[in-house]
Amino acid sequence: MSKIIASNEQPAICPKFEFTFGILGKKWNGLIIEVLLEGESTLRFIDLSNSIEGVSDRVLTERLKELESLGIIQRAGGPNNVRAGYCLTEKGEALHKVMNEVQEWADEWVCNEECQETK
């Protein structure tokens, strides 16, 4: 990762990194991507909703639209098709390695008690 040096010689965060972290760090986005990575090739809205505990339908809809606008997921099926589903694009599939690395870090550094505290 290249660092941009600010005018006061302090290292600055790369804008691409900051933008990407903003996407992945936004509540629910990482979980949506993970469910799509681990699930079948296409998942219906109800399947996503049932897989992510605590997310409201309204927020899930907003996040899906956002991820779709960023080219990370795509809606499969027609706009009026109630059986339509969501799948990852090539750009979204490319996050597989990143998500695996996050899981490996979590397995090593996050204890079960910490997970219970966030619920």
Mean pLDDT by 10 residues, the chain (119 residues): 59 92 96 94 94 96 98 85 87 96 95 78
Give the model's pLDDT for residue 72.
98
Helix (H, G, I), strand (E, B) or coil at 5: strand
Quote the pLDDT of residue 30: 96
Domains of the chain: residue spans and CATH: 4-117 (1.10.10.10)
Strand pairing class (43-44; 73-76): unpaired
Residues paired with residue 75 on neighbouring β-strands, in sequence order: 86
